Amino acid sequence: MPERIETLLNTLPSLILYLSQGMLVSLEVFFLTILFSVPLGLIVSFGRMSKLKIISVPVNVYMLIMRGTPLILQLIFVYFAPKYLFKLSYDRFTAAIIAFVLNYAAYFAEIFRGGIESIPHGQYEASKVLGLTKNQTFFKIILPQVVKRILPASGNEVITLVKDTALASTIAVVELFQVAQSHSSRLASTMPIFVAGVFYFILNWIVAKSFSLAEKKLDYYK
């Protein structure tokens, strides 16, 4: 038994290097999802608040589907449905990004909507009196306050996203968790899974710390 532990410890440096390759794919999924889902979520939040039924109804249906079904099911649907229904095929990584973006945009949209609607209406009226346009009011007065208010909820979503990247393995995207599983089977050891867990923990710690610092930076908005 001690010899086995010693062997595993000796393979740890190469194991970390091996898992780092999968980690790079996980980071790609993470950053691309954030890059596209946040602006899409803001657009969807405006559609959600629209008084026009032709806009708000489809947006509400989209959000109901995205938030009412598991992400793992959405990944499978996005990858396989176009192939069987429309003879349209694309690679697994692209399918994963599309599914993640559509899913997280719905959650970010609801966070944005809550933040925007929490701003007192009097601030809009005061901005109008000061002669500010609607765009100036939103980007200079409303948006900074909204960002401050939604940071805790957004931080939780981003932390969840870090862990959810493991679901990309459902459609055989070779990210961190799948690499760890493969290496675990080859070594007949759970150490690769444990090391992968440490990777996820470190990344989530960085995310949590970043959001904490951002909240402190925006403390002047009370």
pLDDT given for residue 189 in this prediction? 72
Task: Kindly report, residue by residue over 128-138, the tens digit of the pLDDT.
Answer: 877 888 788 87
Task: Kindly report, residue by residue over 95-131, the tens digit of the pLDDT.
Answer: 999 999 999 999 999 999 998 888 888 877 888 877 8
DSSP the chain: -HHHHHHHHHTHHHHHHHHHHHHHHHHHHHHHHHHHHHHHHHHHHHHHH-S-HHHHHHHHHHHHHHHHS-HHHHHHHHHHHHHHHS-----HHHHHHHHHHHHHHHHHHHHHHHHHHTS-HHHHHHHHHTT--HHHIIIIIIHHHHHHHHHHHHHHHHHHHHHHGGGGGGGT---HHHHHHHHHHHHTSSHHHHHHHHHHHHHHHHHHHHHHHHHHHTTT--
Largest separation between any pair of C-alpha atoms in the chain = 78
Q: How confident is the model at residue 61 (pLDDT cuts 50, 70, 90)?
A: very high
- Dihedral of the alpha carbons of 92, 96, 102, 107, in degrees to the nearest 10: 170
Q: What is the pTM of this model?
A: 0.88
Mean pLDDT of the region 175-199: 81
